[in-house]
Structure 1
């Protein structure tokens, strides 16, 4: 088979899907892209054992149909060095030898049989369908992905939980220390359903969704999903297992409430945390009516820091400890000028919410405290 394709367009699509490919694969063919030519459309696929990512580009002067697998490095590395120009692919269907001609040169190598490339699992007849705006899907992943875990013992925590109802979709992520719950009424399901989207496909989607203008369709059964974007289709396997009851860990009665400038607190934490004990990253927040004192110390090296941040606080005077890196993560992922911190006592989780709510979105973040030594 033979075809001509723009090098920039080919590179753009291959780079988007190449992140699926693992650095070490049990099947050598998973080191490859699958190319499938049908008339003037060239489908490009990359996969690992759990996730499959497909896109397509238009080609010209196509002659013949067929499929073959090409080593990803052989295709991507030279493409990155080529200026935009038409590339002519000439593939011998018998020997699978590939010749790629460009402006003043050519390179050639041998491909693998495309029929050996793993095929995606078909969805069961009981599969459900979900259509949601690309920006809602993007926000849901952006707000929660940072809070997912890397826990081999509890794999259910290593993904984003989608809790779907007929009224809304709730995106949840937690690593046992911090928890994020984002409720969106901009999308809803056909009925009650749920699944856990693994971290890897979520990270891939995070890069693509901001460029999408069309709604995204997710068709899924208990184990797998087909996620369809305008120019991409992803097939991924869910994390198996039952997600914990996330609502049960959110404290309901929090009489102590504090409103503070998000950036002022964030910057104070970044400065003060430098002086915390590296092993614990503990910072202490002392709360009183009109100020928060942020402090940290490392007794081993006799270093300490303290900074005062103005705030509006209603409640009893108290001190509470948090892990600085987790609190910084949370503040970095809240889209609001001011935040509200709600507390019951220093031993229970703190709830952090934006004071300005986004339309059709309800965001709540939770952080478990650390014990203070004094």
Structure 2
């Protein structure tokens, strides 16, 4: 079989899907791209046995249909250095591959395509929904940092999609912080839910940035399929019941602080240098229109304190947070000003943007750390 294809088009498609491939695979064939040529369309498939991604592109010219597998790393590295030009592939019956370009030629060995595992198919009861690519990207971007790495509770290691006939809510939590992102820009035809693991969520994140269309999602109890304009991803879902996230969000928080987000980030970065390295504990003290950010490390006799202006008119109070977690949360909110809602030093702090984006409802929550004073 022979075909001619644009070098940069092929490279960009291969590079996008290559992120699926694990550095160590149990099956050697999973180190490969599966390349299938059919009626002038080249389809490339990669898999790590849990997640499979497929992309297709048109070739300039081709003769017979056929398929072969080739080691991904070698082909990617080789194409990376070739500037935009047509390159031709010729694959013999013994799977010897010749790649010819303007001033040179590569020779490499292919592998039998039949060894490549089939991707999972969905059952009869699959649920289908559509979501705007940028809305999905926004939800993944806002939530993925709060997912856990917990072998004992695998349901916490992904993003929970809670779908109703009115909206879609994406939730992530590691037990210390929680993010709830709700959008009314998309909804399902019925009540449904699934937990998307972290790796496919990250893969989607990389692809969605260039995507303008609607993404079609279909899923059953075990697998989900995401269809983008040039890519199709099938992934195994995390099975199990996700905790009731609404029950952990404190409802009555009488103490409300409004503060400039960048101002608080700057203060936290400076002051947290002096916090205990083991706990990264910082204290936020609130009094009339003032926030005092302080930290100390008793072991090294260091401490720091900084006062910033804010809007606060409730009872004076202090609360402790882990600085790294609080910075994570603040860095994942786009709003210039935020509101921190508090009940007392032992209950979670709720952090929301002062102005929500259109059709969005974003809420972040952080568990406090105990103060010793």
Cα distance in structure 2, aligned partners of 1:273 and 1:81 = 44
Give the deviation of 1:79 after TM superposition: 1.1
CA deviations over 1:279-300 (Å, ceiling 9, x no partner)? 1111000011110000111111
Give CA deviations for 1:216-271 in whole Å, capped at 9, x if unaligned: 00011111111000000000010111101101100111111110001100111011
The match for 1:339 is: 338
CA contact (8 A) 2:32 2:72 kept: yes
**Matches of 1:102 and 1:135, distance apart in 2:** 37
Paired residue for 1:14?
Answer: 14
Per the TM alignment, residue 302 of structure 1 is displaced from its structure 2 partner at its CA by: 1.3
- What is the count of residue pairs matched by the alignment? 373
- 1:1-374 equivalent positions in 2, closer than 5 A: 1-92=1-92, 94-374=93-373
Deviations 1:105-158 (A, max 9, x none): 111111111111111111111111010111111111011001001111111011
Distance 1:61 1:361 in 2: 47
Shift of 1:315: 2.0
Greater CA deviation, 297-306 or 345-354?
297-306
Mapped partners of 2:250, 2:9: distance in 1: 51
Structure 1 residue 194, shift from structure 2 partner: 0.2
Structure 1 unmatched ranges of 5 or more = none
Aligned CA-pair RMSD = 0.8
CA distance in 1, matches of 2:313, 2:186: 36
Partner Cα distance (1:309, 1:146) in 2? 27
Deviations 1:72-125 (A, max 9, x none): 111101111111111110001x21111101111111111111111111111111
Q: 1:49, 1:60 → 2: CA distance?
A: 32
- Please give the TM-score of this superposition, normalised by the length of structure 2: 0.99
Deviates more, 1:205-214 or 1:174-183: 205-214
Find the aligned partners of 2:355 and 2:150 in 1 and give their Cα distance. Answer: 33
Q: Runs ≥4 in structure 1, deviation > 6 angstroms? A: none
Deviation string 1:12-69 (CA, Å, 9 cap, x unpaired) is: 0111110000000000000001100002110011110210011111112201111111
For 2:83 and 2:206, locate their aligned partners in 1 and report how far apart those are by CA, in whole Å: 24
SS of the aligned residue for 2:312 comes to strand
* 1: CA distance, partners of 2:209 / 2:130: 16
Give the drift of 1:314. Answer: 3.1
- TM-score, normalised by the number of residues in structure 1: 0.99
In 1, the alpha carbon distance for the partners of 2:231 and 2:48 equals 16
Unaligned stretches of 5+ in structure 2? none
Once residues 218 and 158 of structure 1 are traced to their aligned partners in structure 2, the CA distance between those partners, rounded to angstroms, is 20
